[in-house]
Structures are given as C-alpha cells and as structure tokens.
Structure 1
Amino acid sequence: MSIRRIFFISLIPVVIVATGYIAFRKLALFAPPSINLSQYRTAEVDIGTVFRTVDAEGIVVPQSEVLLLSPATSIIKQIVQVPGSHVDAYQTILRLDPKPIQDEIASIEDQLEVKRNNLHRNRLNARGTRLDLDYNVEMKKLRIASLKSEVADEEELLEVGGISPAKFEKTKQELTLAEKELEMILSKNSIRLQQLEAEEQGLKLQIEIQEKELETKRENLSRTTVRAPSAGIIMSINGKEGEKVNRDQLLVRLSDLSSFKINGTVAEEHAEIIKTGNTVFAIVDREKLVGQIANVSPEVQGNKIGFDVYLEQSNHAKLLSNMQVPLLIVRRLKEGVPRIENGDGLGKGRRSEVYVVEGNKAVKKAVDFGMRGLDHSEISSGIQVGDRVIISDITAFRGRPEIDIINH
C-alpha cells in the first residue's frame, strides 16, 4: 500500500469529525427541535449596577479592643483567666481585694450620718428661730397699735388743753420710731430666713454629693470582680496576684468579638484602587459582605499593600476571628445601566448571540455588551429591559435561529 493511499485513508476520520462539528455548530442538523425551559437558567434584563473587581486576600480580626481599668487602688487577689483565653460575656477574669473600697464606703456612711444629723438639728434650730422672729414681729405690732391708740387719745386731750404739746409730740415720735423698727425687723427677719434656707440647702447639697460618691464606691465594689463586658480573647493582664494596682490603672486588654473588621492585602500593582472609601466585597461562605477600605498602610511589604476593611455587617454570624476570606475590590463601577446576570449562554466577547424567550419560542438575537462585570454584564443594544434571556449553556441549539419551548 502506497504512502499516499495510507495518508488519504487516515484523513477520512478527520474529515468526518470536522463535517459533523460544522453540521452541529453551524447547520444545526443535530439540534433538538424544542427544549424544556425548566432545564435552563434564565435571567431578566433590568436596571442596576455593574462592576469589575480585583482579587485580594483578608483575615478577619476583632474590630476593636476593650480596656478594663482598676476601679480603685487595691491589690490583685486572684487571676482567674490567663492571656490568650477565650472568655464569654460577663465571665470573671480576675478579682481585686475589696477591703480598701469597703473601708471607704464605711467612712462615707459615717460622714453621711453626721451630716444628716446636722441637717436635722439645723431644721430644728431654724424652726425655733422662726418662732422667735415671728414673736418679735408680733410684739412690735402690738407696741405700734398701743402707741397709735395713745396718739389718738392725746390728740383729743391736746385739743381741750389736758396735755402739753411736748408730750403729744414725744408719743408721735415713739410711734414713728416703732414703725421704723418694725420695718427693720421685717427686713432682718427676711435675711435671716434666707440664711437659714441657704444653710439647709448647703447641707442637703453636701449630703447629695456624698450619696453620689457612696453610690460610685458601691458600684466600684461590684467591679472588684473584673468581668468581660462581651465575648472576646484576653490579650494581656497587667499585674500579678498580690501586686498593688492604682485607680484607673490598665488591668486587662480584651479583644471584642461582637464586631469584626478585615485586614486585607493586595498586590502592589493595584495600588491606584486602594483608596479610603472604595467598596470591597468579602466572600464568606459564598455570601458577599459589603465593606469600605480604611486605614491604608503607607508601607509596602513583600510587594503587598495592607489595608483595613470595615464591613456594613460587622457582627455577621458567620464571621470568626482569624478566618481567611477572599476579597473583591471594586475597580470600576457603573450604576443605573441595563444589565443581565452572567452565564455561559452570553458568550465572552463584546458581541454575542443569545436566545430571548418570546412566548413559546426562544429567538436568537445579536447583543452588544458594554462593561463585563463580576456578576452582571452591561447591555449596550440588541435586547431591552424586561427581556428574558437563556443564560445557561446553549451549545445544543446554538445554530438554530429559534427553537420551540415546551412546558413553558
């Protein structure tokens, strides 16, 4: 058998395969006449946002730390938890010796008892003083009434010559003097009553201040058992058992596990999009959590740029400390444009042919795409908002201009 004949014989299978492929893709000889639409994914053209992203990496970390301070000067009596321990909300971390605060509370209670006694005594004295003042006023009023009566009698006697003018003038002067003394007594009494009121208010204010101080001390006494305000991890404990600590001295640094942020890194080549406020998506168990870039690191380490991501749902139930998560940094974004969900049926280029559901048929139409995004693609022309498009793989019937739909 000649070499030429062998060549032609070996070429026959290749020609058959190529012909079959062309018939399948171009001539649609083997394409099904109809499809069950429920076996295909469809999407509707709507108005929305299309965005492109850059891949990055991130680690979930507590968003903030809690600093627990000593409520008073005391001694560390017992350390219950050690650094690195996970604690739940209200779990005891350490205990301080309560005796110094208990002694302060006892001293304030004694002082309060003295001041309350002083207030009671002041009120009794004020009551006695008011009685004395009122008595003096009544005596002056009686004296004035008596003098007025004498003036009236002496005036009648003066008219008939029964009394000398000098005697009458003397009585009138005594009346005038008594009236002025009454005015002075009333003014002094008013001042004295105001003084008594001020003294009482001063004592009440002192008592109120010490009562608040006592309330604070009692609250501090309850804080000698140092508890975690929320779930977290103990970062450090500043002190040892038996060691003295001062008031407001830092005792415990605790990470707050009630809310999280993400420490992200991205290749240096994408530095231009790492700006405060730019949108980032964190992928947590196939769910996209929206966040914004903050606190961009000024240093480049290992050709990587570091940044923080603050999430809108910082307390999401699936977030765990030290969890590694993929990040998608939005590089370009268009809002309010016609778009459609991505799928294999849309092709990859700027122009493609898709199948639009029209009644009981799927009709092939040419579509021009704008920006191709992560989840959606922008529609420039070819189909309209509201059109329903088959977006899953359409290889089986790509060559047909239209195809019947069953079970629609």
Structure 2
Amino acid sequence: MSITDTSGQDVLLAPKASRKKTYLIITGLLLASATLLLFPTLNQWSSAQASVPMQRLRLADVVQGDFVRDLSVQAQVVAAVSPRLYSPAQGTISFSVDAGAQVEKGQELASIDSPELNNELKQEESSLQKQKMELDRKRIQAKIQHLENQKSVDMANVSLVAAEREKRRADKAYASATISQIDFEKAQDELENARLVHQHAVQDAKLDEESLAFEIRSQQLQVNRQQLLVADLQRKVDELTLRSPVKGIVGNLAVQDKNQVTRHQAILSVVDLSQFELEVSIPESYADDLAIGMDAQVNFNGETHPATLVTLSPEIENNQVTGRVRFAASSPKGLRQNQRLTTRILMENKTNVLMVQRGQFLESGNGTIAYVVRDGMAKRQRIETGARSLSSVEILAGLQAGDTIIVSGTEQFDGAEWLQITN
C-alpha cells in the first residue's frame, strides 16, 4: 500500500503586493506639505535673534475709540476764603475771641493799643484846627480889605463927581468970559485927575479881591490836605480793632494775648467753611500742557464730583506747579480742612483714534519702537505715538486696530528684529 503526499490539497495563492512603498510615498507627501506650510514659521524661528517666555511679557491690543488725556494728582482740601489778619501798627494786642470760635462778619476779634499812633492822630487833629482858624482869619481879613477897597472906590467916585461939576461950572463961566483961560484949563485937569484916581481905585480893588481869594484858596487846600491826613490816621486807629471779614471759624492764633506785636505781623486767620477748594501739586513735566479752565473730577466718598482748574502758579517749586481746583457746584458735605482727595484733571479728549495701553515700552524705545506679536513671534516695528494719558497712548502710525504688541519693557531684547515667544 502506497501513501501519497498532500500536494493535492494545496491551493496556489497569488502573491500580495507590498504596501511599504505606498507608505513611504504618502509619508513623503505629508512631510513635503508640512514643510511648505511650516516654512514661514521655520524661517521665522531660524531668524529669531532672541527667545523670551510669555510669562515675562505683558501684551495689549491696539484698539480704536475715544482717547481721554488726563492727569491724576493728590489734592488737599482748603477753604476757598481764608483771610489772614495782620497787625496795622506796633502795640500791645488783646484778643476778644479764642481759636476755634464761631464768629460773624464784622465781629471784633482783637484790639491793639498803640499810644504812638493815637498821639500822632491827636497832633494832626490839632494842626487841622490851627489851619482852619488860619483860614477863618484870612476870610475876615478879606472882608476888611474888601471894605477898605470899597471905601477907596467910593471916595474916588465922589471926587470924580465933584470934578465933573466943577468942569461944567468952568465951561459956563468960560463961555461968559468970567474966568481966565488958566482957571478953565485947571478945571479940566482936575476932572482928568479925578477920573484917573477913580479908575485906579477900581483896579486896585479888583486886584486885592483876586489876591485875597487866592490866599483863601491856598489856605483851603492846606486845610483839605490836613483833613485827608487826619482821616488816614483815623482809619489806621480804627483798624487797631481787628474785625472778622467773613463768617466762619477763628484759626490758630499766631501770638499770645497781651504780647507786643510789630507792624504787618500775622495775628490770626478766619476760615470760611461754606466753600472749599482743592490745592493740587502737579509734576513739572505737565506744566506746559495745563491751562486754566480745564475740567476736573474729584473722587469723594465713592462719588465723582465735577470741578474746574481755576488757578495755576507761574512758578515751579520742588519740581511741581501749584494750582487750585474749584467744584462746579456747591462743595460736597462732609469735607474737612486739609483732607486729601484724588483729583483727575482732563487735559484733552479725542474721538475715534488708535490707542493702546500705556506701558514701559514707551520709555524703552522713546515711543518709536514696538514689538508686534503674531503666531508666537514678535517683530520689531517703528511706530509714531501722540498724546499720552495715565492709562493709554495715542498711535499715529505704524500699527493698526487689532494688532497685539508688547507693552512691557523692551530693553531686554537688545534691539532684536525678531523674538521667539515660548510658553
């Protein structure tokens, strides 16, 4: 018996095609596509001159909107009206009120005893009385002289009338040949002499009247001058009683009671608490940008109160400029003297402008360099900035709305053109 093999059971299979080549082709195509897609990024990565982690950067978007240029300063509450009183003369002071007392306008606050000023007033009053008496004497003399002049004019007038009568008698006698030619001419001479005497008497009287009137006017001017001097001294004596110029509270007393004070020495102040203002100290760098009349906002008790910059000092002290801010309406209730409040001064308002958050990059690049962030890379780009506020800066050129830039300090990049931002 023979045993046959299993060849009769075998089935011929067709050889399978190899897929290795296909895989290699697909892989190559994918690598080529990825290379083409990533070529710009790879190119940028290869050209990056520095690498910086994201956590060390602060980014901000460029936006378009309304730009408000403002300045925030600390302000001190001061009374809008706080007059200080000074000593008008040297003397001994006596106070009628104490510090912190409520006073009314015109109320007596203190008095100064000045014997020197009082004595000077009495001397000038005596001089005034003397000059008035001298004026009255001149007026009496003028009346006497007026009577003397009138007497002379009247006597000359009588003599003129008599001479005219004698002249008429001589004319008749000469016509009838009862007097000589010499007597007739003598009567004419006497008439002419009487006319001259009368004329001179009238003129002398007129000149005397003018002279006396001039002396009276001169004396009257001296009296008027002396009256002004006495009135001024009287005013100074009246000012020795210090009175409150406003209704308010007496401030601290600068001298002690019954002490000697000198002229123009500070005595006390009166604080009017009905109206407050804010005294602000503004950095010197903003001095040229400020102007009287600018709007301001004052924060007090969680509320914002409108105000206006009303004064601005022309001098710079300690690198600061002093100004005054006045509330637009009445002062808020609850304010206290020397209280400190945050005040915002609105220097400029622009609409529909490009702007970005303010940051250290302005100082690092003098406002001309910014790093624009795209796809994990940052490119150095020249820009042009305009007005600056506390929180934003205006962009004039070099950026567009939607751009993202690095607003933190850029001096660490050493002027690199490209930066790689890592996570």
TM range (shorter): 0.5 to 0.7
Looking at structure 1, the residues matched to 222 and 113 of structure 2 have their Cα atoms a distance apart, in angstroms, of 29
1:218 aligns with 2:234: yes
Q: Deviations over 1:323-379 (max 9, x none)?
A: 3223122143259x9xxxxxxxxxxxxxxxxxxxxxxxxxxxxxxxxxxxxxxxxxx
SS of 1:78's equivalent?
strand
> What's 2:372 paired with?
none
1:309 aligns with 2:324: yes
Q: What are the within-5 Å matches in structure 2 for residues 3-402 of structure 1? A: 53-62=70-79, 66=83, 68-73=85-90, 75-79=91-95, 88=103, 89-230=105-246, 231=248, 234=251, 237=254, 241-243=258-260, 245=262, 248-252=263-267, 254=269, 257=272, 260-265=276-281, 271=286, 274-277=289-292, 278-283=294-299, 286=303, 287-292=305-310, 294-295=312-313, 298=316, 306-311=321-326, 316=331, 318=333, 320-333=336-349
Deviates more, 1:92-101 or 1:132-141: 92-101
Looking at structure 2, the residues matched to 115 and 184 of structure 1 have their Cα atoms a distance apart, in angstroms, of 34
2:306–2:328 Cα contact (<8 Å) kept: no
Q: Deviations over 1:76-119 (max 9, x none)?
A: 1435668x757644455543115434333333333333333333
Letter in structure 1 aligned against 2:127: Q
Percent identity at matched positions? 16
Looking at structure 2, the residues matched to 326 and 213 of structure 1 have their Cα atoms a distance apart, in angstroms, of 53
Looking at structure 1, the residues matched to 140 and 258 of structure 2 have their Cα atoms a distance apart, in angstroms, of 53
Q: Deviations over 1:190-239 (max 9, x none)?
A: 12112222222233333333333333333322222223323466467378
1:239–1:251 Cα contact (<8 Å) kept: no
Letter in structure 1 aligned against 2:190: E
1:296–1:308 Cα contact (<8 Å) kept: no
1:79–1:93 Cα contact (<8 Å) kept: yes
Residues 192/110 of structure 1: CA separation in 2 closer, same or farther (3 Å cut): same
Larger Rg: 2
Please give the root-mean-square deviation of Cα atoms over the aligned residues, in Å.
3.9
1:77–1:242 Cα contact (<8 Å) kept: yes
Looking at structure 2, the residues matched to 317 and 129 of structure 1 have their Cα atoms a distance apart, in angstroms, of 77
> What's 2:393 paired with?
none
SS of 1:237's equivalent?
coil
CA drift of 1:138 comes to 1.2
SS of 1:276's equivalent?
coil
Looking at structure 2, the residues matched to 267 and 217 of structure 1 have their Cα atoms a distance apart, in angstroms, of 48
Letter in structure 1 aligned against 2:76: I
Unaligned runs of 5+ in 1: 1-48, 338-408
Residues 191/283 of structure 1: CA separation in 2 closer, same or farther (3 Å cut): farther
Looking at structure 2, the residues matched to 272 and 244 of structure 1 have their Cα atoms a distance apart, in angstroms, of 40
Q: Deviations over 1:159-204 (max 9, x none)?
A: 2221122222222222222222222222221121122222222333
